[in-house]
Structure 1
Amino acid sequence: MTETGAAGEPQTAQGSHEEDARRGTTGYGTPVSAPSGWRVFHATGDAPVGASVRLPAPPPWREFGGEPLQPPPGDDPRATERRLGTAQARPQLRDEEVDLVNAALLLRRPILVSGPPGVGKSTLAYLVARELGLGRVLPWSVVSRTTLKDGLYAYDSIGRAQAIAAWRAGEEREEAPEIGDYVTLGPLGTALLAYERPRVLLVDELDKSDIDLPNDLLHVMENGCYDIPELVRSPQREATVVTDDPNGRAVVHGGRVECREFPVVIITSNGEREFPAAFRRRCLPLELRPPGREQLVSIVVSHLRRRPEGIEGLLDHFEKSVAAGGTQTVDQLLNAVQLIASGGFHDDEAGRKLVEILLRDLAKGR
């Protein structure tokens, strides 16, 4: 049996459309369309004023219950401003790119960012962190020798053994050295602590890693937790360890670290190799293309805090070079704009040659 609502829409006697929407369907079992205001991230880099941005609730299969809750992390505004410049009202990403980032935030899934060098892959992490007010970005730069343990934690066994020997000899310390003083969490390990709001983790250039590292990350990305064996074996059920944040400390219970909110994970790749299908299945792929004219202007104004006069020809040259297959990066453009906008620059033959050097095609070697 059905009734007619105030707007003339049919609704079931057992429940209203609000209940159907909560279940994700209409009264006829068809999916509810996404609300128009579902975005929480708009790629403007504009830091929140007053109350922090409220993130969508995670899916039931991405809920975690880590303890104990850690205090909110600090920020690093200087590092963020070096990456982003000042905030701008205009978005620095395309609409489809913004939508994918919001989907990753909603689903609590890592973002695998690819694209040409200098297109802004790692900058995305700083853009998300500042706009959502998530504190300092945790950067993890990957090389061929990097292992999963490097990202999780390090244990200084030699330092602790020396401290115990000194304590037993009655030197300096009155109390036995705490094991937590010799455990330092890495960027990944810190990001998985139990924070009330997610941390932002930047895994930079994962394609440079050993072939096993992407597979080793699967367990951590699925379960949002890891164990520190040295603390698991310790008779102390609680330890205060060093984190990857400057002067950071965190309490760990029973040697297990589990997140409360899964971190915002930005993984960058220059496409040097393919990742396993199991790894790619757990990530949302985002391919960044070279920025268009509007985005270039926004980036220039963000970094120089003004729009210098006489840069239109420079922007034209940059766009044409990239469109022709050249490997020029945005930071090269910023350097060139800063040069011509500085007082005393002469637009003569020598000056133009210097600008050409700054905007050289990086694929051609020197």
Structure 2
Amino acid sequence: MTPKEQTVPNGWHVFHATGHAPDGPVPRLPEPPAWRQFRGGPPQPTPPDDEEAALRRLGPGDVIQQLGAEETDIVNAALLLRRPLLITGPPGIGKSTLAFLIGRELGLGRVLEWNIVSRTTLRDGLHTYDALGRAQAIAAWRAGLRDAVDTAPDQDADETGEASPADRQRTPTLGEFITLGALGTALLPYDRPRVLLVDELDKSDIDLPNDLLHVLENGSYEIPELVRAVTDAARVHTSDPGGYAVVRDGRVECREFPIVVITSNGEREFPAAFRRRCLPLEMRPPTREQLLAIVESHLRARPAQAESLVDDYFRRVRSGGTHSLDQLLNAVQLTTLGGFQADADGRKLVEMLLRDLAKGR
């Protein structure tokens, strides 16, 4: 920390919740604590950007500040300590949006998303192996090789009838059938941390949080299929579109621990051992002024009907209903269409859009 950072309030912050992409050089995180340093290699190329995904999450206008000073402190502490951030709050409040906010502001490229369902396992997040696809590819290769031997044995096979070295090189490789998941890709050895969104972990099987402990603590994992392979290195697919990575000796270890944003709607408690490894952040519902600003940011205007709809939405939330920001944005967008009448049948449609999600239909 520089002398200036020691005297300026919040000078230790690297994240300010502005949502503005860096104009000049990308911000650098301070060195991690000694117990959170990793030595994976060789370094991976810089990940791609995905501004379209960020626009869908953050809107085309200026990002509205939903984090207070206390919440911003917690996010920065998680970044500097290289610890996962466990965000709780009602559905649709903008928990997952924080991952995109961090990624854009720190210039960290495409956010890796791991969406959790009840059947999700740790292996799903680390990697998948298409054994059937590999078996079919090898069978097709052998069939093609036999055809080549039958038609031109003097060119495609030696005197014993075996394939020539050129043919053997075309054998489908193991790595072609291994794809790293979002978690597995995030743990590749990048020079700067990737942003990983683990969305709705509370919907997982009861064992998944405990299964995550080793990976979150050690920043590494093994791919059993490659550990057993005879080759020292394999080129595998990643979660980035068209992305590849070279895995050596079947083991992956990060260089910079990823920025892990875990969201939960509070449907169940997590084990103490898991919570110990995360920094908790509870997001509060936005105020009326913030809701108006969010509408204006996404629609790049404040329609005449916006205030009454925001007031209606705000009243429903304060009365204890379960609502999402998407519902408000959809209602405002619909009522701004030419010819739409927000009375009679139109009012019924608005009521449907703003319905309490906890009551089913």
The structure showing larger relative contact order (alpha-carbon pairs under 8 Å, at least 6 residues apart) is 2
Query: CA separation of 1:33/1:49 partners in 2, compared to 1, >3 Å: closer, same or farther?
Result: closer
Letter matched to residue 126 of structure 1: F
Per the TM alignment, residue 33 of structure 1 is displaced from its structure 2 partner at its CA by 8.8
Letter matched to residue 89 of structure 2: G
SS in 1 for 2:144: coil
Per the TM alignment, residue 93 of structure 1 is displaced from its structure 2 partner at its CA by 2.2
Query: CA separation of 1:280/1:365 partners in 2, compared to 1, >3 Å: closer, same or farther?
Result: same
Q: Of 269, 274, 277, which aligns to 1:279?
A: 274
Letter matched to residue 252 of structure 2: V
**Who is 1:12 aligned against?**
none
Q: Which moved more, 1:298-307 or 1:55-64?
A: 298-307
| Distance in structure 2 (CA, Å) of the matches to 1:89 and 1:303 | 9
Per the TM alignment, residue 327 of structure 1 is displaced from its structure 2 partner at its CA by 1.4
How is 1:169-248 mapped onto 2 (pairs within 5 angstroms)?
A: 169-171=143-145, 174=167, 175-248=170-243
**Who is 2:43 aligned against?**
69
Q: Give the TM-score of the pair, scaled to structure 1.
A: 0.87
**Who is 2:55 aligned against?**
81
Query: CA separation of 1:302/1:186 partners in 2, compared to 1, >3 Å: closer, same or farther?
Result: same
Q: Of 118, 125, 131, which aligns to 1:151?
A: 125
**Who is 2:160 aligned against?**
none
Per the TM alignment, residue 89 of structure 1 is displaced from its structure 2 partner at its CA by 5.7
**Who is 2:68 aligned against?**
94
Q: Which moved more, 1:86-95 or 1:284-293?
A: 86-95
1:299 aligned onto 2:273: no
1:115 aligned onto 2:110: no
For the Cα contact (< 8 Å) 1:141–1:204, is it kept in 2?
Answer: yes
Query: CA separation of 1:90/1:157 partners in 2, compared to 1, >3 Å: closer, same or farther?
Result: closer
RMSD of aligned alpha carbons: 2.2
Letter matched to residue 335 of structure 1: N
For the Cα contact (< 8 Å) 1:68–1:253, is it kept in 2?
Answer: no
Once the two structures are superposed, what CA deviation does each residue of 1:89-134 show, in whole Å capped at 9, x if it has no partner?
A: 6423222222211111111111111111111111211111112111
Q: Which moved more, 1:114-123 or 1:355-364?
A: 355-364
1:254 aligned onto 2:249: yes
SS in 1 for 2:242: coil
Per the TM alignment, residue 87 of structure 1 is displaced from its structure 2 partner at its CA by 4.2
SS in 2 for 1:169: helix
Per the TM alignment, residue 343 of structure 1 is displaced from its structure 2 partner at its CA by 2.4
**Who is 1:267 aligned against?**
262
Q: Of 351, 356, 362, which aligns to 2:357?
A: 362
1:142 aligned onto 2:137: no
For the Cα contact (< 8 Å) 2:21–2:106, is it kept in 1?
Answer: yes
Per the TM alignment, residue 86 of structure 1 is displaced from its structure 2 partner at its CA by 1.7
SS in 2 for 1:260: coil
Query: CA separation of 1:325/1:96 partners in 2, compared to 1, >3 Å: closer, same or farther?
Result: same
For the Cα contact (< 8 Å) 2:61–2:300, is it kept in 1?
Answer: no
| Distance in structure 1 (CA, Å) of the matches to 2:51 and 2:63 | 18
How is 1:4-23 mapped onto 2 (pairs within 5 angstroms)?
A: none
Per the TM alignment, residue 146 of structure 1 is displaced from its structure 2 partner at its CA by 1.2
Letter matched to residue 145 of structure 1: R
Once the two structures are superposed, what CA deviation does each residue of 1:200-259 show, in whole Å capped at 9, x if it has no partner?
A: 111111111111111110000000000112112222111110001111111111111011
Q: Give the aligned length.
A: 339
Once the two structures are superposed, what CA deviation does each residue of 1:265-323 show, in whole Å capped at 9, x if it has no partner?
A: 11111111111100000001111111112321232122112222342222122112111
Unpaired stretches in structure 2, ≥5 consecutive residues: 149-165
For the Cα contact (< 8 Å) 1:121–1:268, is it kept in 2?
Answer: yes
For the Cα contact (< 8 Å) 1:74–1:136, is it kept in 2?
Answer: yes
Letter matched to residue 215 of structure 2: V
For the Cα contact (< 8 Å) 2:330–2:353, is it kept in 1?
Answer: yes
Unpaired stretches in structure 1, ≥5 consecutive residues: 1-17, 22-31
| Distance in structure 2 (CA, Å) of the matches to 1:162 and 1:59 | 47
